[in-house]
Amino acid sequence: MQIPRRARAALLAATAVTAVAALAACSSSSSTGAGATGSAAGGTSASAASGGTYTFWDPYPQYNASSAWWKLVASCGTQAGVTIKHTAYDTTALTTQALLAGQQGTSPNILLVDNPVVSTLATAGILTTTAQNGLSTGAIAPNILGAGVLNGSTYGVPIGANTLALYYNPKVLKAAGVNPGSITSWASLTSALAKVKAIGKKGITFSGINTEEGSFQFLPWFWGAGANLTNLGSPQATAALTLWTTWIKDGYAPNSVIQNTQTTSWQEFQTGDFAFGENGTWQKAGAAAMGAKVIQIPAENGGAAPVPTGGEFFTIPVQKDTGSYATSAKIIQCLSSTSNIVTTDGTLNYIAPTKAGQQAQLSADPSLSSWVSAVGVAKARTGDNLGTKYPVISQQMWTAVQKAESGAATPANALQVAQSAATAKLSQ
């Protein structure tokens, strides 16, 4: 389907904003093995009965042809009676390539993309719906599936989900006389930070940088106050940003959070001086090595705060040969089967999107219980039918966070300006 020039420019602009979402949502692998690179033209496949080659693009350039992931992809193709031509891009390049291929009618048969990108591609008319392609969504948790839903239609299925929680250092909390089980609200968390500071240790570190990573880490506090992304200037949103700025002012959080990525924030936590570090599922191996534990991020007045879902979606782009959809669906069903997805999600540090998958993960590793609970209350960033509005809102939100953290504006003023800017941009 051709994308009008103005729409294409808008979508590419949105892509630039959301490109770093992968950093916010995906495993920070240290592997540097190169995956396949370059373009692969789609729309050339044959039906499963006659074999043929199916193209598959994913955002995992850290894996190569000798990896378990590539072998699984090839195996699922073989089971479907076809050969898979597998191409890996980083997330930014993948989204751009997908948009261009959709415009040119050369989309791959299967795309695995970061979940905020699904609505961008769907809006561009590049993706088929699950009603068209036959993918089953019935067993998938609705909150995880939400990132793939736009205007009542579902455009893919998740490979898994990751999210955020609070890692804590048991040694620091014990020295400060803090029981982690007592931290159930903002007030109890702030009280714990005061006790930690009183013994000469550091309180909490997080990523408050002016990118999608900053928005990703702010959302649990934003949503935990009861705020809504359609009203950045609300009293609830102001309460969340005031919490962060007060922690910085009172010395409970370091000034470095203003420029911290999730990686540098994690490095701070790994020094052993901090009581808490807000970070994701992808850090669980490093946390285990240093003896750190996990609790859910508390909502303002108690209970677990909603946290944003990260992770990727399997999608089936529009093809001239609509008969290819059935085979693409078979390949995806293989890749997302309980047995395969549990193995894959363990490698990618994701929580499975189905109850059966999560139970299988817990049987193999009971320590994942806190993460399964966190994913259970998670929300899609593009959910509530925000779709491609989310990148615009997110950019204004992280800008407001930066202004308030630096002292350039009060939390209330920064967020009110952000809401006005978002409204203006979305009305263009």
Q: Which two tokens stand for residue 116?
A: 């905020």
Q: What is the DSSP string of 223-257?
A: HHTT--TT-TTSHHHHHHHHHHHHHHHTTSS-GGG
- Count of the separate structural domains present in the chain: 2
Of the listed ranges 24-28, 275-279, 416-420, the least confidently predicted one is 24-28
The model's pTM: 0.87
10 and 154 co-located in one domain:
yes
Q: Which domain holds residue 267?
A: 164-307+388-426
pLDDT digits (tens, 9 = 90+) for 364-407: 999 999 999 999 999 999 998 999 999 999 999 999 999 999 99
Partners of 298 in beta bridges: 304
Number of alpha helices (DSSP H) and beta strands (DSSP E) in the chain: 19, 11
Q: Using 50, 70 and 90 to split pLDDT, how confident is the model at 342?
A: confident
C-alpha separations of 417 from 65, 159, 232, 234, 393 in Å: 49, 37, 9, 12, 12
- CA atoms of 334 and 183, how far apart (whole Å): 41
Name the nearest CA neighbour of 42 among 123, 116, 100.
100
Per DSSP, the residues of 22-40 read: HHHHS-----------S--
> Does 273 lie in the same domain as 188?
yes
Return the percentage of the chain with pLDDT > 90, whole number.
83
Kindly state whether residue 381 falls inside one of the protein's structural domains.
Answer: no
Contact 309, 147 (CB under 8 A): yes
Q: Is residue 382 part of a domain?
A: no
**Which CATH number characterizes residue 205's domain?**
3.40.190.10
**pLDDT tens for each residue of 134-168:** 999 999 999 999 999 999 999 999 999 999 999 99
Residues 254/202, Cβ–Cβ less than 8 Å: yes
Query: Is the domain of 227 the same as that of 214?
Result: yes
Cβ–Cβ under 8 Å, residues 346 and 364: yes
101, part of any domain: yes
CA-nearest of 212, 216, 174 to 196 is 174
